[in-house]
Amino acid sequence: MIRLSRHHTERIAFSVIGLAAVATAVPIIVIVGSIFFSGAEAVSWQFLLEMPRDGMRSGGIWPAIIGTVYLVVGTGLISIPLGIASAIYLSEYATDSYWTRMIRLAIVNLAGIPSVVYGLFGLGLFVLFLDLGSSIVAACLTLSIMTIPVIISTAEEALRSVPQSFRVVSVGMGATRWQTIRRVVLPQALPGILTGVILGLNRAAGETAPILFTGAAFFLPKLPNSIFDQTMALPYHLFVISTQVPEMPITIQYGTATVLITFVLTMNILAASVRSWQRRKREW
Amino acid sequence: MFDNPKIRINELSVEYDDGTQALSDVCLDIPKNAITALFGPAGGGKSTLLRTLNRLNDLLDVSISGEVILDDINIFDRNVDVISLRRRVGIVFAQPIPLPFSIRKNITYGLELAGERRRAKLDDAVEGSLRSSALWDEVKDRLNDSATALSGGQQQRLCIARVLALAPEVLLLDEPTSGLDPISTAKVESSLQILKQDYTVVIAPSSIQQTARIADLAVFMLQGELVEWGRGKDLFSAPREKQTEEYITGRFG
C-alpha cells in the first residue's frame, strides 16, 4: 500500500472538498443562467404589465405577478405577528416543560411536511370546513401555516443569541420583562428576525402545491376584487403554461420562469444583505 | 459599631434549586453613608448576597428565608414593588456590560423606563452621573458614540454612572474593578469615596488589598456564612477569628 505524505493527503482532501463546493454551485448557476438566457427576450414592460391574451399564448403575466404579491403580503400579515409572538414566548417567557417541548416538536415537524400536505390540509380546513371557498384568504392562511415554523425557529434563534447579560442589566435597572424585550432584546434580534421573515415569505412566494386547491386560479380574465376571490399566481401560472396549455410559445414559459426566479432571488439577496448588515452592526 | 443602619439583614438563607446552600443564617447591619465591603474566597456567597439585596435573584430559581429590611420595609414582602426596589438599590456587575446603545442612551435608559421624557432632566442626569463616576471629561464630546467602543475602565465607570442616574439610595458593586487596570481601578475607588457621602455602598471588592483600602465596614464571608465583621482598619490589624487571619495573611483563598 502506498503511504501518502501528510502534505499530499492535505492537498487531496482540499481538492475533494473544493470539488464538492463547485458541484453544489454549478447546477444553480446553470439553471438560473439558462433560464435567464432563454427568458430575457420575452421579458418587457408589456409582458410584465399586460393581461394574458389568446388563451395565455400571448400578452403578459400581470395578474400572476399581482396575485403573488397579494399572497405574499397576506401571508406576511398573518404569519409575521404570529410567528414573532410565538418566538418571543418560547425564547423569553416559556419554561422548559412538557408543553413547550411539544410545541417545539410540532414546529420542527411542521417544517418537514411536504407542501402538498399543507395544500390538502388548507382545502379541508379553510376552503371546505370554514367555508372560505377557494380564495386569496384561504391560500394565505394555508401558506401561513407553512411559513410560521420558519419564522418561529429563526426568530427564536435570533432572540436567544442576544446575550443574557443584557437582560440582567436591564432588569437590574428597573425594567420590566416586557420593557427589556421591547427596548433591548427585540432591536438586537431584529435583523435575524427579518432574515427569517424574508426566507419564510420567499418560500410562500415560490410554492405551488399549497395554493393549488386553496386559492390559485387556472386563468382569470380580470384581477381579483376582494380577498374572497381566487387569484392567479406566478408559480401556478408557470405550472399551467408549461404543462396544461397546448402550443404554448416557449419564450413565454421562460419569461415567466425568469420573473419568478428574479422575484425569489431578489428576496434571497435581501435576506443575505440584512444578515451581513446585522453582523457589521453587532456590537458584542 | 455603626448606629445608622440602612439595611438590616436577619437570618437570611438562600438556597439555589440545585441544592447549593449559598447563604446560611446571615445577620448583618449595613450602615448608611459608608462602604461595606464583603470579602472572602470565591464561593463565599458575596455575589448571592448582593443580588439578594435588590432581588435580582428572582430571575433564578432560589428559595429565600429570613428578612432584609430596607429602611422600614422587608423587601421580600408580597406588596413590595420589585421595580421600584431595584431603582432604590442599584447594582454594578463585575463585567462592565454596556447596553448596545450610545453612551448617552445607556444613562437615560433607566430614567426613560420610569417615564422621564424631559430633555433637560435627562441631560442633567447624564452630566451629573458621568461627573460622579469620573467619566465626564473623557466622553463629554462623544455622548452619542456607541458605548461599546469605550475602554474596559471607561465602560465600568459608565455602568456605575447609569446606576447613579437613577438616584438610588444603595449602590451594590460586585467586583467592579476585576477587569480593570490599576489606573482605572484607582479612579473607581476614589469616586466611591465621594459617592459614599450620598449613598450607602455595598461592595464585593476584587482583592483583599482593595478591601483594606476602601472598607469602612469589612465583612469576611466563607462558604455562605459571615465569619467576622468589623471596622476596616480594626479587622485587618487584629482579626478575632483564626480563619479571617489565615485568609488575610494569604494562607488560603
- pLDDT greater than 70 at residue A175: yes
C-beta separation of A241 from A248 below 8 A: yes
Domains and CATH numbers, chain B: 5-248 (3.40.50.300)
- Asked, for residue A144, whether it belongs to a domain, the answer is yes
pLDDT in tens, A15-46: 999 999 999 999 989 999 999 998 888 888 88
pTM of the model: 0.78
Cell of B52: 439578594
- Asked, for residue A84, whether it belongs to a domain, the answer is yes
Residue A67: its H or E element = helix A62-88
Cα distance between residue A240 and residue A53, in whole Å: 15
- Asked, for residue A112, whether it belongs to a domain, the answer is yes
**Shortest CA gap B31–chain A (Å):** 22
Residue B69: its H or E element = strand B62-70
**Shortest CA gap A36–chain B (Å):** 44
Nearest Cα to Cα of residue B112 among B166, B61, B75:
B166
- pLDDT greater than 80 at residue B182: yes
- pLDDT greater than 70 at residue A13: yes
Cα distance between residue A59 and residue B188, in whole Å: 76
Q: Which of A97, A165, A169 has the highest number of chain B CBs within 10 A, making it the mutation to test binding with B? A: A169
A169, A173, A187: residue with CB nearest B113 = A173
- Asked, for residue A8, whether it belongs to a domain, the answer is no
- Asked, for residue A1, whether it belongs to a domain, the answer is no
ipTM of the complex: 0.78
Question: Which residue in the block uniquely carries the three cell numbers 447596553?
Answer: B99
Mean pLDDT in residue range B191-198: 87
Q: Domain total for chain A? A: 1
Cell of B74: 422587608
**Shortest CA gap A16–chain B (Å):** 43
**Core vs surface per residue A59-69: b (16+ CB within 10 A) or e:** ebbbbbbbbbe
Cα distance between residue A237 and residue A244, in whole Å: 10
Contacts of A168 in chain B (CB under 8 A): 56, 59, 93, 97
Cα distance between residue B51 and residue B62, in whole Å: 11
Residues of B with CB under 8 A from a CB of A: 54, 56, 59, 83-84, 86-87, 90-91, 93, 95, 97, 99-100, 109-110, 113-114, 146, 148, 159, 162-163, 166
- Asked, for residue A30, whether it belongs to a domain, the answer is no
- Asked, for residue A195, whether it belongs to a domain, the answer is yes
pLDDT bucket at B151, cuts 50 / 70 / 90: confident
B59, B114, B146: residue with CB nearest A283 = B146
Mean pLDDT in residue range A244-259: 86
Q: Supply the DSSP string of B1-27, one letter for each residue.
A: --S-EEEEEEEEEEEETTS-EEEEEEE
C-beta separation of B102 from B145 below 8 A: yes
Q: Does A44 touch chain B (CB under 8 A)?
A: no
pLDDT bucket at A174, cuts 50 / 70 / 90: confident
Rounded to 5°, the CA angle B28-B30-B31 comes to 140
3-state DSSP assignment of residue B202: strand
Contacts of A163 in chain B (CB under 8 A): 97
Q: Does A190 touch chain B (CB under 8 A)?
A: no
| CATH classification of the domain holding A248 | 1.10.3720.10
Q: Which of A166, A167, A173 has the highest number of chain B CBs within 10 A, making it the mutation to test binding with B? A: A173
Mean pLDDT in residue range A219-230: 82
**Domain that includes residue A266, residue range:** 60-281
- Asked, for residue A3, whether it belongs to a domain, the answer is no
CB contact under 8 A, A173 and B90: yes
pLDDT bucket at B253, cuts 50 / 70 / 90: low
Residue A211: its H or E element = helix A209-212
**Shortest CA gap A189–chain B (Å):** 12
Which residues, numbered 127 to 166 in chain A, qualify as contacts with chain B under a Cβ-Cβ cut-off of 8 Å? 163, 165-166
C-alpha to C-alpha distances, B131 to B40, B158, B188, nearest whole angstrom: 31, 10, 12
Work out the number of other CB atoms within 10 angstroms of the CB of residue A120: 16
